[in-house]
Amino acid sequence: MKILAEQIARLKFDAHGLIPAVVQDVKSGAVLMVAYMNREALEKTLEEGRTWFYSRSRQRLWAKGETSGHVQKVEGVYYDCDADALLVQVRQTGAACHEGTFSCFTNGLQENGKPLPPSWAALSWLEDVVKDRKEKMPANAYTTYLFSKGIDKILKKVGEESTEVVIAAKGGITEEIVYETADLFYHVLVLLRECGIDLTSIWAELEKRHQSK
C-alpha cells in the first residue's frame, strides 16, 4: 500500500482537488466516457475494482452503475507523462452513456475516415460468454451441451463448421460465407476454452508473426 500511496502522491489534482479520468473499454479500445475523480474516488476505485467518480454538479462521489447496473469492472489504471490525467481501462457492463449508447462519444464533429466500431471486439466479448458458460454450465444452453460432451464432440463440430465455410465459399454467396464463418469462430472459441487457451495467446502469436515481417 505504501507504493500505491507514493504513486497517488505523484498525481497533479487541480485547484478543486480533481483529476480527469478517460474511461476506455479494455476489449474494444473504445473511449467510453470522461469524468473526474478526487483522491477519495480514485482510492475507492483502486480498492473496490469498480469505477468511482466525483460529480462536480452534485458535489459528491458516485459509483458508475449505482442506479443503472451498468458497472465498470476496472482492469487497469494509468496516469500520463504529466501526471495530470488518468486512463481507466474497464470491462463495461451494458451501456456506458446515460442515453443508452455503449460510448458517450457518438456525436461527430469531423470524420475524415470511417471510424472503427467497437463491434470488432465481438470475438473477445463472445469469449467472455463462452467462459461464463464453462464456469456455470447453465441448463439447456448449447454451449453447456458441447462442454458436457467433451473434446471429441467439440472437435467434430469444428470440423463440420470448417466444411460448411468451404462449401459456402465455393458457392460464392457472401451472406452464407459470413454466417458459416461466424459459426466456425464460435466453435473455435469453445475449443480454445476446453483446452484452457485464451484469445490473448492467439493475439500474441499473430502479433509476433506480424513483427517478424
pLDDT at residue 2 greater than cutoff 80: no
pLDDT at residue 213 greater than cutoff 80: no
For residue 98, give the 3-state DSSP assignment. coil
pLDDT at residue 120 greater than cutoff 80: no
Highest-pLDDT range among 14-23, 97-106, 197-206: 14-23
- Mean pLDDT for 155-181 is 98
Residue of 128, 184, 138 whose CA lies nearest to 157: 184
Q: In what order do the strands lie in the sheet with 86-92?
A: 31-37, 19-25, 86-92, 72-79
- Mean pLDDT for 196-206 is 90
Model confidence, pTM = 0.65
pLDDT at residue 141 greater than cutoff 80: yes
Q: What band does 167 get if pLDDT is binned at 50, 70 and 90? A: very high
Each domain of the chain, given as residue ranges in start order, spans 2-92, 118-211
Distance CA 34, CA 81 (A): 18
- Mean pLDDT for 5-21 is 94
pLDDT at residue 190 greater than cutoff 80: yes
pLDDT at residue 1 greater than cutoff 60: no
pLDDT at residue 113 greater than cutoff 70: no
Distance CA 207, CA 161 (A): 26
Q: Where are the alpha helices (DSSP H) in 150-195?
A: 151-171, 174-194
Yes or no: is domain 2-92 CATH 3.40.50.920? no
- Mean pLDDT for 145-162 is 98
Q: What band does 119 get if pLDDT is binned at 50, 70 and 90? A: low
> Any residues with CB less than 8 A from the CB of 57 and at least 6 apart, and which?
none
- The answer to whether residues 49 and 114 touch, using CB atoms and an 8 Å cutoff, is no
pLDDT at residue 21 greater than cutoff 70: yes
pLDDT at residue 211 greater than cutoff 60: yes
Q: What band does 128 get if pLDDT is binned at 50, 70 and 90? A: confident
The topology (CATH level 3) of 118-211 is Helix Hairpins (1.10.287)
